[in-house]
Structure 1
Amino acid sequence: MDNRTYAVVDLETTGHSPSKGDRIIQIAIVFVEDGTIVRKYSSFVNPLREIPVFIQQLTSITHREVSAAPSFEEIALTVSEMLQGTVFVAHNTDFDLAFLQSEFKRCQVPAWSGKKIDTVELAKILFPSSTSYRLQDLAEDLDIILPTAHRADDDAEATAYLLLTALAKLRTLPAETLNLLHRRSFSLKSNISTLIHEALSDVRKTGNVNNLPLFRGIPYRQPSYPNRIAVARCSFPFTDDEKVKKLSKVFPAFEWRESQLRFMDVVWKMLTTKEEIVAEVPTGIGKTIGYLLPAVIHSLQTGKPVIISTFTNHLVDKILVDEVGKIQEMLEISCTAVVLKGKEQYISLSKFEELLRITDESYDETFTILQILVWLTQTETGDLTELNVSGGGQLFIDRIRKRSNQLREDEKDADYHERMIKACSTANLIITNHSLLVADFQQSRKKFHLFSGLIIDEAHQFIHSASKVHETVFSYMNWKYIMGQLGSDADGQLLHRMMKLHRKLGTGGSAVFRQLNDAYEQFVSAFDNVAMLLTTRKFPKRNSNLGNRIVFRLNEVSGLEQSFLRVAEKMTEYIYLAERVRNELHMTEQSMSANEHAFIAEWDYWIRELKIKAAQWVTVFLEREEENYTVWVEKDNRSLPGSLTVIKTPVDGSRIMKEFISAVKDEQVGLVWTSGTMTVKDDERFVTRQLGIADTVPIKAFEAPLHFYNKSSIFIVEDMPSIQHVSQSAYIEAVADAVIQTVIATGGRLFVLFTSQDMLRKTYELILESELLNDYALIAQGVSSGSRMKLLKSFRQFDKSVLFGTNSFWEGVDVPGEALTAVIIVRLPFSSPDEVVFKAKADRLTASGANSFSELALPEAIIRFRQGFGRLIRSSNDRGYFIILDRRIETKSYGRRFLNALPNVPIKRVSLERMVNELEDCYNETECKRKQDD
């Protein structure tokens, strides 16, 4: 540790703008010297103005705490003198330091000057896989004590410990990593370069070298996997007593669930007899453990892996992190599990190393490189989704994804994806996603072979994944980005540097570059013409539920075939010339520097990307294949042409599914299809027909225990307006009112589920304008920033929260216990008639003489409805309310089918007022019981 004094500062203020009269209400400074906290200073501050209600709620600082405190004018000089000569540290120096300097100026005392360290910037570099960089989240991840967030004294002390933790982490990094970090650290916004330099000096002095292998000078962690699969004498627990004994080892509050035990028996039978079954297993009975236990035992006995496939990469990771360790504890036997994703999910170290040699970087690119250098010393998977990078950093991440299976000799040991593939042959469990599984079974060189069983979880989504594998997407913004990498001749850009290299080596004249520029301009002109035609073409009035979003089939546009063909021709001409410019350098490669080789590799990379785009253009715009595919255009009137997207996808995935099932059967292994929604009453085989599963394959539907839903209720609100007889705005007003009253009655912790993003946004905005839920955290998908998982994490973090979600929140999210008290269904989840893939499927059914509503629209909606209910009750201890606002469930003949699809739960048909009164009574009773228990 150096001999500097670090002053770790945190402020609580009435707002963000001192120039508009906002003032400090609490200040805390923690002084750190030689790796130790040596003293602290803390004071409330009287702002001499009102503290906004929101700030009082956030900080728990009220007028009572500050009324007897000094004003900042009274302590400004003392604070200024304490800070002089120190390194200023804060968790977001842009706020704390700027606010403090402004207050020093107002009070006419000396401003602080010196070096500063932003612990947000520091934490992002040193903990690149953290899901959040808020102080309270980092404190939780790093086991730093933070008694009360948003109190300056606690926040400053937690930030001081964060600084010390980061400094200690720096000294664990290899000298080569520190050296690479230091070279790029001078462009950071705070003086982190000093910390890195001191850590590098210490590591070199003490010889504290972390001996990691190097790939072309870059340290990286190389995971070790066993050379052979774990095999053990391990018997399946056939009796219920044996099963319960094992389950009780890892679940102290284990609850007997007959269906879970019988599901285990079914999975075991399928794996050992190499048969196939469809198993519907309701949420909350322990489905994942139910199939993992027999799968691991079967693998240990046979010495071959069992494959587990689920819908998303998030669910894949969740199985590995949350469940596999429990199985090992139950069996008291070590087993191995490997997660395998598509190659694009993994880093290409060779591409990363090439980009390190190119010095012309933006701040976002430099920052992302620093994060990756640290991450490479700790990741055992090379899975790029582990990184938490900025939006600009994500563009850099996309450039270092693995694209090719061809590896140079020095890459073979360092390629994470290749190591994961090898590890699959020695793993007991291979955990993957549906898309990769489908794609792999269509390859000649399969990653998945010599396995002993296949379990497909979330199986009702498998057809969606199979279609996605064969989907092609054209994105205007993505195309423009790639075109810009090659076409710009601005100083420092690829084309400009290619011209300079040719001049230096004397390998080409200006004529070929004039040809290249002319070809590029013609290509861009043809491309922009198509974009203009697709964005300006007028269409009949569309469904108002889409808002500013416009969707139409490409075959509704006529007369553009020649324009599409011209883009393909001009692009081919340009690619030919770009490759010719590159090929003329072949003879001089021996005389090139390492940086010039890296630049040439970058040119080659973007040419390959453009070739991929050329193939996609032909697929989307020139190969219509209207019998088997539908092609549609999406655009948003608020951002044209940037929002322009064209998507081509199969109408019917059954052919793909039949090919997949046939390939699996060739392996002669047990196959289990499972999900919480594998059947629809009155049409038991709807899902299996969609999946292409033979009618001879049995369906086994398990039931939750009779008492499982004892604490749940279903409310149908009878005085809501009919969605079919009022305007959308009138219905949204009624929805907003119902949501507000329900939230206030229950204290929050609600999901509000929509089928339309436009209706979600308008309802959310109306509730915000009302200011009636200002005390609640309102989180809206598509409005609030962040991924689905980040939104869900935010929802869980607040006691008083409401999450507004669309399609992806109807299923696949798990919020157990009191974190979720109610789910509000705004509309029955029918697919929009204007949704292009649905319409194509419906048209095909109609053409064959079938009823598209009863054979497609209704069963799909019922499945989604059941999934929505499944979000609510995850265990028999959960109390929950399922609230239906759409009166069609009562007024339409098909409404009864929705209700029959739900578990046997009391259904209450009530007015909004009566429901709110009942919820208030239940909520107050629950709160009283909780206080008694506490």
Structure 2
Amino acid sequence: MAMRFVIIDLETTGNGPKKGDRIIQLGMAVVEGRSIVARFASFFNPEQPIPPFIQQLTNIDEQTVEEAPLFADKAGEIAAMMKGAYFVAHNVDFDLPFLQAELERAGRPPFAGPTIDTVELARIVLPSAESYKLGDLAKQLGLRHDRPHQADSDAEVTAKLFIALLGRLHRLPLLTLEQLRRLARHLKSDIYSLLDAVIAEKRKEAPVDDTVAVYRGIALKKPAPKPDDGRRHSPSASFAAFYEQAPPLPLPGYKRREGQWEMMRLVYEALSTSQHALIEAGTGLGKSLAYLIPAAFFAGERQERVVVSTHTLQLQEQLIRRDLPVLRQVVPFPLRVAVLKGKQNYLSLDKFVSFLSEPCDTYDAALLKCQLLVWLLETDSGDLDELNVSSGARLLLSELAIGEGEDGGRHHFFAQAKQRAERANIVITNHAFLLHDLTASSPLLPPFRHLVIDEAHRLEDAAAHSFGERIDYVSFRLLTAKIAQTLGKWPEAEHGEAEDAIARCQRRLEELQFEGDELFRLLRRYALAKKPARAGRCRCRFSPADEGGRTWQAATELCWRLRDSAAALCGAAMPLVSAPAADGSPLPASLAADLAALERQLATLVRLLTETDPSAVRWIEADEKGAANAVRLYSQPVDLADFFADRLFMKKRSVILTSATLTVRGRFAYMTRRLGLDEFYPLCRSFPAPFRYEEQAALFVPADMPLASAVSVETYAEAAAAAITAVARRVGRRLLVLFPSYELLKMTVEALKNDEADEPFVLIAQGVQSGSPAKLIRTFLQFERAVLFGTSGFWEGVDLPGDALDALIIARLPFAPPDDPVMEAKSERIRARGGDPFYELSLPEAVLRLKQGVGRLIRTERDKGLVFVLDRRLTNAPYRADFLASLPPFPVHEGGLLELLDAADAWLWQGRRPNGV
């Protein structure tokens, strides 16, 4: 391709050229013919101070730029290199405005050529990439990236990334390239002429591409021949022989852990003797292989299928990518492993064909179409979790999944997954699908009698969510807006026959939306009057049999009217739904599916507001300062012990539940009671983590913090902010601070921000900065000195090994907030039978949560770090032993904060290697 591309990266004093921020370094790499042919790099004097966090991020300080040229001195050379070229950058919207501002300041004309954003191009060409940050993409593609956040190094690696993306683009089949070309005008990057050049080259090649299949005009990955399922010759022909020989596992740097092998033996014993088991396996034990290896031997020897259920996608991916290859090398017979999830996790190709033919109303829709076209050439499963799409495209993607009542069309990814599961020795699924299957009249999982549940501490929560119900104003409004949009798209040619039906539907829909607005407004008013908001949010429990008053009566009457209006709408739409368009338009099917979803929503609303269910707790949530109708209604079962006993443990021969947090004070009593295992006498065993906790970590409890239960949240937040600041200044470079509630997190961050300008560390806070926990962690790791504040998802599943984390701060013991409706309902039940809700529920829950949080610190045998628990109830409350006996055997230090900081500083660096742990 005779094209010229100039790849540019900048380092700047801030984020806004309009606010006067300036360039401090610029790197350029010129690409022609898929090779770098020229380079340019220079620091620039910005004629203004460089903020401390920019210095920390880039390692560019005031001294570095003091003698550097002004941008105007190099503007002519830079403009000459860019002449006639594409402007390419990793986030063009950041780099180009800065460059334009500097060119204007230097009296030069702005750049007016085409642009390509490598973030956007990577999203299209690598639709399954875990992250689109430059460093992460470089790592994925094996590109060397020595000095991140230095413009010359970033420009070089962006150029290599661009060349790699061009290569992948050229390998796409002609059919896909032509479809991308039709979509290219809706993208931000000017890649249509680039695609023209690739297509022209492609047409010169052999026209037949036997690596793809075609379905309704879309290129798909052709199924590969089935690989050899495993080794057929091994000295270890049975689990007994394998366990006796105890060969080293084929893992890089594998080190034998006695606890892992003991767990293997126990899992095999439970499976082969048809017993249930609760196994607590500490972090770093290697628990996944400790249950997969005996499960695989058992499945092969007994010709019995074993199902493995996980809670998180992260663990499911780990089982497939990291553990399955090891398993195939260890097990001496053909091993068939399959993943099966609910239908809504798989793409409906027929829906995508219809979606592809629709006009691109939004940028998100255009980009998603491009991503799906490329992904279909890579995926074997059609599992939508493989995709990394923008938040704006997530809702669109969910609408392309196979619906619960749909058959998926002639090319059915779910049916293929189900067939693979029926042939498999081991089936990997998730808690939600497993629980749905236990109650389904026609189970979708193949028959099985043996089950391993990993992340078992999340099983009850998953069941409560799965069997609970929810409806909220936003989802109601989105669904009715979608129906209105579908009616508005009805083909003009059909208006002669369908015009009356469309008009009737639109009138019914307007009535429905008006009544829905009024209903949710009434519910919000009722909830706020019944229970005032706490920390800006109201959570109000209700029971239809016990509610009363004019507002509640008006809401229930409106609820019935809403259901009748929906039924009238469905009746009015019958002529449209029952007479599909002659041209095969997807609109009738789409309308029918949305109307069915609306009827399900309103049936849920009627149940929640009018039917009594003593086994469930119901509540209304509303934000004090939110919209007048921004309301959410929830229902969850209170006690699931009988369900687990009857539907799970009675029906299966062996259920093995494992997690890193199952015991309180070394006992399984709380978990066996909670899961209905009391009468099954399960095997119970705890295997500690293989770490030297006495040497690797220490616990510090400041005695001069205010007592959490004796002061207001605001007072405690101010004290916590001061303590966090002191710890961050004195010890460690990166700190993770965990909070039991967002209310306390927000107040603490606000108190800290008052003095942030003078601090040497960067603050990154969940809910303050946008993004998922994974995204916030990636940002956190970019800085040498940073403090990450998290709640909810940060207490578990976060992995920060080595020098990624020096200290962990627990801001407050993780007792459930007092307005938690589920905990309230459970406490009432315990109290009604004469029990103590605190010791039977609140305390065990808090202990397990604290164990999960503390487990974020020591992840490998080489980690070393500090734990600060700012809540002095840990060491002086009557229940302190329940917490301390459940934690790893850390040395515990108490005293004034300044005294503890001296001790912590000395302990952290004692014997630490110069290059860090």
Task: Give, in whole Å, the separation in 1 of the partners of 2:299 and 2:859.
Answer: 29
Post-superposition offset of 1:265: 0.8
Among 503, 511, 514, the residue aligned to 1:522: 511
Q: Does 1:221 align with 2:208?
A: no
Task: Give, in whole Å, the separation in 1 of the partners of 2:304 and 2:231.
Answer: 9
Among 475, 478, 490, the residue aligned to 1:481: 478
Task: Give, in whole Å, the separation in 2 of the partners of 1:19 and 1:726.
Answer: 45
- The residue aligned with 1:323 is 323
Alpha-carbon spacing, 1:620–1:143, altered in 2? closer, same or farther (3 Å): same
- The residue aligned with 2:380 is 380
- The residue aligned with 1:246 is 248
- The residue aligned with 1:131 is 130
Q: Does 1:630 align with 2:622?
A: no
- The residue aligned with 1:531 is 520
Residue by residue, what CA displacement relative to the aligned partner does 1:510-536 show, whole Å, maximum 9, x if unpaired? 4x4443333223222221111111223
Q: Which moved more, 1:792-801 or 1:829-838?
A: 792-801
Among 667, 670, 675, the residue aligned to 2:659: 675
Among 221, 234, 237, the residue aligned to 1:235: 237
Alpha-carbon spacing, 1:575–1:205, altered in 2? closer, same or farther (3 Å): farther
Q: Equivalences for 1:701-850 in 2 at 5 Å?
A: 701-704=685-688, 708-711=692-695, 712-771=697-756, 774-850=759-835
Among 673, 694, 706, the residue aligned to 1:689: 673
Among 566, 570, 594, the residue aligned to 1:606: 594
Q: Which moved more, 1:231-240 or 1:855-864?
A: 231-240
Q: Does 1:581 align with 2:573?
A: yes
Alpha-carbon spacing, 1:806–1:62, altered in 2? closer, same or farther (3 Å): closer
Post-superposition offset of 1:460: 2.3
Task: Give, in whole Å, the separation in 2 of the partners of 1:618 and 1:363.
Answer: 37
Alignment check: 8 A CA contact 1:228 1:426 kept: no
Alpha-carbon spacing, 1:815–1:237, altered in 2? closer, same or farther (3 Å): farther
- The residue aligned with 2:98 is 99
Secondary structure in 1 matching 2:423: coil
Among 616, 623, 641, the residue aligned to 2:604: 616
Residue by residue, what CA displacement relative to the aligned partner does 1:820-852 show, whole Å, maximum 9, x if unpaired? 333222222221231001101111121222222
Among 448, 459, 462, the residue aligned to 2:456: 459
Alpha-carbon spacing, 1:225–1:422, altered in 2? closer, same or farther (3 Å): farther
- The residue aligned with 1:73 is 72
Q: Return the TM-score normalized by structure 1.
A: 0.92
Task: Give, in whole Å, the separation in 1 of the partners of 2:475 and 2:656.
Answer: 39
- The residue aligned with 1:551 is 539
Task: Give, in whole Å, the separation in 2 of the partners of 1:820 and 1:784.
Answer: 20
Task: Give, in whole Å, the separation in 2 of the partners of 1:741 and 1:519.
Answer: 62
Task: Give, in whole Å, the separation in 1 of the partners of 2:477 and 2:897.
Answer: 51
Alpha-carbon spacing, 1:238–1:6, altered in 2? closer, same or farther (3 Å): same
Task: Give, in whole Å, the separation in 2 of the partners of 1:418 and 1:299.
Answer: 23
Task: Give, in whole Å, the separation in 2 of the partners of 1:274 and 1:608.
Answer: 43
Q: Which moved more, 1:460-469 or 1:777-786?
A: 777-786
Q: Equivalences for 1:269-288 in 2 at 5 Å?
A: 269-288=269-288
Q: Does 1:259 align with 2:249?
A: no
Residue by residue, what CA displacement relative to the aligned partner does 1:704-753 show, whole Å, maximum 9, x if unpaired? 27863222222222111112222322211211121122223332333222
Question: Percent identical across equivalent pairs?
Answer: 33
Task: Give, in whole Å, the separation in 2 of the partners of 1:886 and 1:543.
Answer: 28
Post-superposition offset of 1:772: 6.8
- The residue aligned with 1:28 is 27
Alpha-carbon spacing, 1:7–1:816, altered in 2? closer, same or farther (3 Å): closer
Alignment check: 8 A CA contact 1:343 1:402 kept: yes
Alpha-carbon spacing, 1:631–1:740, altered in 2? closer, same or farther (3 Å): same
Alpha-carbon spacing, 1:334–1:579, altered in 2? closer, same or farther (3 Å): same
- The residue aligned with 1:490 is none
Task: Give, in whole Å, the separation in 1 of the partners of 2:718 and 2:679.
Answer: 47
Q: Which moved more, 1:837-846 or 1:122-131?
A: 122-131
- The residue aligned with 1:51 is 50
Alpha-carbon spacing, 1:695–1:679, altered in 2? closer, same or farther (3 Å): farther
Q: Does 1:393 align with 2:400?
A: no
- One-letter amino acid matched to 1:757: Y
Residue by residue, what CA displacement relative to the aligned partner does 1:661-717 show, whole Å, maximum 9, x if unpaired? 25633xxx4321222232333964221111011434234223427863222222222
Task: Give, in whole Å, the separation in 2 of the partners of 1:22 and 1:877.
Answer: 42
Q: Equivalences for 1:878-897 in 2 at 5 Å?
A: 878-897=863-882
What is the Cα-based RMSD across aligned positions, in Å?
2.8
Alpha-carbon spacing, 1:76–1:499, altered in 2? closer, same or farther (3 Å): closer
Structure 1: state its 5+ residue gaps.
488-492
Residue by residue, what CA displacement relative to the aligned partner does 1:358-413 show, whole Å, maximum 9, x if unpaired? 215211111111111111111222221222222221121121111135436xx34x
Secondary structure in 1 matching 2:490: helix
Task: Give, in whole Å, the separation in 2 of the partners of 1:180 and 1:448.
Answer: 37
Alignment check: 8 A CA contact 1:14 1:51 kept: yes
Task: Give, in whole Å, the separation in 2 of the partners of 1:526 and 1:241.
Answer: 67
Post-superposition offset of 1:582: 4.5
Structure 2: state its 5+ residue gaps.
none
- One-letter amino acid matched to 1:861: A
How many correspondences in the alignment?
909
Alpha-carbon spacing, 1:426–1:794, altered in 2? closer, same or farther (3 Å): farther
Alignment check: 8 A CA contact 2:138 2:157 kept: yes
Alignment check: 8 A CA contact 1:9 1:89 kept: yes
Task: Give, in whole Å, the separation in 2 of the partners of 1:542 and 1:496.
Answer: 42
Task: Give, in whole Å, the separation in 2 of the partners of 1:436 and 1:368.
Answer: 26
Residue by residue, what CA displacement relative to the aligned partner does 1:246-288 show, whole Å, maximum 9, x if unpaired? 33x425250x433222111111111222222222222222222
Post-superposition offset of 1:231: 9.2
- The residue aligned with 1:862 is 847
Task: Give, in whole Å, the separation in 1 of the partners of 2:298 and 2:786.
Answer: 44
Secondary structure in 2 matching 1:114: coil
Alpha-carbon spacing, 1:705–1:236, altered in 2? closer, same or farther (3 Å): farther
Alignment check: 8 A CA contact 1:214 1:220 kept: yes
Alpha-carbon spacing, 1:74–1:864, altered in 2? closer, same or farther (3 Å): closer
Task: Give, in whole Å, the separation in 2 of the partners of 1:579 and 1:219.
Answer: 39
Residue by residue, what CA displacement relative to the aligned partner does 1:869-904 show, whole Å, maximum 9, x if unpaired? 333333443323332221223332112222122233
Alpha-carbon spacing, 1:301–1:621, altered in 2? closer, same or farther (3 Å): same
- The residue aligned with 1:437 is 434
Task: Give, in whole Å, the separation in 1 of the partners of 2:904 and 2:804.
Answer: 16
